[in-house]
Amino acid sequence: MPQYPNTAFHLASEDDPGIPAAAALRVVHETDGVDLAAAERAAGQFLQALGISIRSESLRDTPGRMARAYAELFSPRPFDLTTFPNDEDYDELVLARSIPLRSVCEHHLLPFVGTAHVGYLPGRRILGLSKLARVVEHFACRPQVQERLTKQVADWLQTHLEPKGVGVVIEAEHTCMTLRGVQATGSSTLTSTLLGTLRSDARSRSEFLALAGLPT
């Protein structure tokens, strides 16, 4: 089974915690703790080391804002992985398109933003639709690379939902490439992971890519 660093699972129920049949997985992003005061001090030292004075009124509170901003970027919201029986044996593609995505490049700690298209072919269970976006947020809210993020979302859904196939496509603009270095303004990066039937069956793969608005 794939490993998911900093991810913890707890049994939970939205209705009654005492009813095992209704239990869902509570997905939590675990950290070693957030020390905002220490982060604020470090941010102030960082700015001053770059020759930026923080003594003016407009910059005095900037280190604190930086600390809180990055704490928010690295803190996905916990959620319950709610699934339901596939009573009608639905066997067609379920696809959530254009899920907003924002993450932080782990190489420069600069943001990258874009959209994710996430789909699956149901097996015995179907997933609450909002949970597709929750899973994307869960893995995006940390220092990341887009390639890993794409595969983590797909592998996680394959492991916990056990569908017949999973497809994830992410298109994002990386400010570490557009605002610095090569300064390739307007460029975007596209990554994909296809598992199960969406990888092995050409027709299913083409359907997913077409519905996601991508060339087949």
Active-site entry in 10, 14, 45, 107: 107
| 176 tagged catalytic | yes
- Is the CB of residue 104 less than 8 Å from the CB of residue 74? yes
Give the residue carrying structure tokens 């991810």.
Answer: 7
Active-site entry in 29, 40, 105, 207: 105
Active-site entry in 146, 152, 171, 207: 146
Judged on CB neighbours under 10 Å (0-12, 13-18, 19+), 174 is: buried
| 108 tagged catalytic | yes
Please state the length of the chain.
Answer: 216
Residue 24: φ, ψ to 5°: -125, 165
- Is the CB of residue 101 less than 8 Å from the CB of residue 136? yes
End-to-end alpha-carbon separation of the chain, Å?
30
Give the residue carrying structure tokens 């179907």.
Answer: 126
| 141 tagged catalytic | no
Active-site entry in 10, 45, 48, 106: 106
| 138 tagged catalytic | no
Active-site entry in 29, 141, 174, 207: 174
| 107 tagged catalytic | yes
Give strand pairing partners of 12: 24
Where would I find the H helices in the chain?
36-49, 62-73, 130-140, 146-161, 175-178, 197-200, 202-211
Of residues 171, 141, 138, the one with CA closest to residue 155: 138
78 half-sphere exposure, CB direction, 13 A CA radius: 13
- Residues labelled catalytic: 105-108, 146, 174, 176
